[in-house]
């Protein structure tokens, strides 16, 4: 064999080895990906419960979903994946923030899991239509479609107590902080993001009723355009406010509204302060810090138990509050015991939580 033939043989052997190595790596990665997928499905299956739920549709495209026999097993601010067994949509599941505290911290006496869904896409519109259509007209699809277009408000009023089979997967989402561990709490929810605020507010007050927690004041800020959503939370909000007053938790609710208000719309949320402008994060945080300092001085202490900021809403709202926290008065923040910021967002991070441990599960 001459020199050229030897080099060719060596290169050919090297290419074969390289090809085999690539094949092995591809096979290994395929097995690894398949294993991860199998683990994902297993964890999802273990965290899934089959239940029945009552769907109540409200004007403004809102649907209240109350799921039976799921009273414990989550923390305020977490979310679940909902699947509704009705038609071809039964193959879909979508995430929604839980709108109430677990039964152990409930101020309303509710022993169910509550979701409030805003009609914004195909799935949520389907859920909303189910809420009124099934209750009002059964399976007469043509009649329900025509009548809904003609009398949408009548449909919503008629369509309470529509019960359907569902699966609930979760809960998912973890916060590194407990709101009830902070002296002052600021909760901000944009539109239907108020579900996050309502659940945390209820949990703070419910925990305090049992003698736990250190929260002395809560600021709730709710920027919204659709006033219909007020009615969905009115009863729970009223009960939780009454409980907060009974244990001297100062509560300030501010509705930042930029749309015209129809007479009588605000009757059910009369304690709330109506502000016809956008939220100013810097002013809100400064006010929270000043109120905390005054309380600390009144107690004769040198440092407080901290200020917690929780935001659930569009990216610009979260970014604005994050910037305001970063630029807050450092001396006031130190005296208050620090400022802790948490935002509620469903992103790639939330998807990765599908692989989280099963430390929390439904009873």
Strand partners, 51: 166
Q: How far is CA 344 from CA 57, 176, 191, 197, in A?
A: 25, 12, 13, 10
How do the domains of the chain map onto residue ranges? Answer: 8-46, 48-172, 179-355
Starting at the earlier edge strand, list the strands of the sheet with 162-172: 94-97, 79-84, 162-172, 48-58, 62-67, 113-118
48-172: in CATH 3.30.420.40: no
Other beta carbons within 10 Å of 257: 21
**Tokens encoding 122:** 């195909």
Distance CA 186, CA 224 (A): 17
The pLDDT value given to residue 126 = 86
Distance CA 170, CA 361 (A): 7
pLDDT in tens, the chain (363 residues): 554 544 454 444 455 555 565 666 556 666 666 666 566 556 665 667 889 998 888 877 888 999 998 889 999 999 999 999 988 888 899 999 999 999 999 988 888 999 999 988 889 988 888 766 554 444 444 444 445 555 555 555 544 457 889 999 989 887 778 999 999 999 999 878 899 999 999 999 999 999 999 999 999 999 988 777 788 888 899 999 999 999 999 999 999 987 776 544 555 566 688 888 899 999 999 999 999 999 999 999 999 999 999 999 889 999 999 999 999 999 999 999 999 999 876 444 444 443 333 333 333
**Tokens encoding 169:** 């997967």
Q: Show Cβ contacts of residue 242 under 8 Å, excluding neighbours closer than 6 positions.
A: none
The pLDDT value given to residue 127 = 87
Q: Judge if 48-172 and 179-355 fold alike in CATH terms.
A: no
Ramachandran assignment for 23, one of left (phi > 0), alpha (psi -120 to 50 degrees), beta (any other): alpha
* pTM of full prediction above 0.85: no
Which fold does the domain 179-355 belong to in CATH?
Rossmann fold (3.40.50)
Distance CA 192, CA 61 (A): 11
């Amino acid at each position: 064999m001459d020199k050229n033939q030897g080099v060719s043989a060596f290169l050919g052997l090297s290419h074969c080895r390289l090809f085999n190595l690539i094949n092995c790596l591809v096979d290994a990665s395929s097995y690894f990906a398949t294993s991860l997928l199998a683990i994902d499905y297993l964890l999802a299956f273990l965290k899934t419960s089959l239940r029945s739920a009552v769907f109540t549709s409200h004007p403004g495209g809102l649907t209240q979903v109350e799921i039976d026999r799921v009273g414990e097993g989550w923390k305020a601010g977490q979310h679940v994946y909902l699947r509704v067994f009705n038609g071809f949509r039964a193959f879909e599941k979508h995430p929604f923030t839980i709108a109430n505290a677990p039964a152990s911290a409930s101020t309303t006496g509710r022993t169910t899991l509550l979701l409030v869904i805003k009609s914004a896409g195909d799935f949520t519109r389907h859920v909303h239509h189910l809420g009124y259509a099934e209750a009002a007209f059964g399976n007469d699809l043509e009649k329900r479609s025509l009548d809904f277009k003609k009398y949408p408000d009548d449909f919503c009023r008629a369509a309470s107590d529509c019960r359907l089979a569902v699966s609930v997967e979760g809960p998912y989402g973890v916060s590194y902080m407990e709101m009830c561990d902070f002296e002052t709490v600021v909760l901000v929810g944009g539109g239907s993001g108020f579900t996050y605020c309502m659940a945390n507010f209820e949990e703070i007050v419910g925990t305090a009723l049992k003698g736990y927690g250190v929260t002395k004041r809560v600021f709730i800020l709710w920027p919204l355009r659709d006033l219909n959503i007020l009615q969905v939370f009115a009863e729970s909000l009223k009960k939780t406010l009454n409980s907060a007053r009974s244990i001297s938790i100062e509560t300030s609710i501010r509705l930042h509204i930029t749309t015209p208000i129809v007479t009588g719309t605000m009757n059910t949320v009369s304690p709330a302060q109506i502000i016809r402008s956008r939220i100013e994060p810097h002013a809100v945080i400064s006010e929270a810090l000043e109120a905390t300092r005054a309380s600390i001085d009144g107690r004769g202490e040198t440092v407080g138990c901290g200020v917690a900021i929780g935001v659930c809403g569009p990216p610009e709202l979260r970014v604005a509050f994050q910037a305001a926290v970063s630029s807050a008065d450092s001396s006031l923040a130190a005296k208050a015991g620090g400022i802790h910021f948490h935002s509620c967002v469903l992103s790639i991070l939330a998807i990765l939580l599908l692989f989280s441990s099963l430390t929390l599960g439904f009873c």
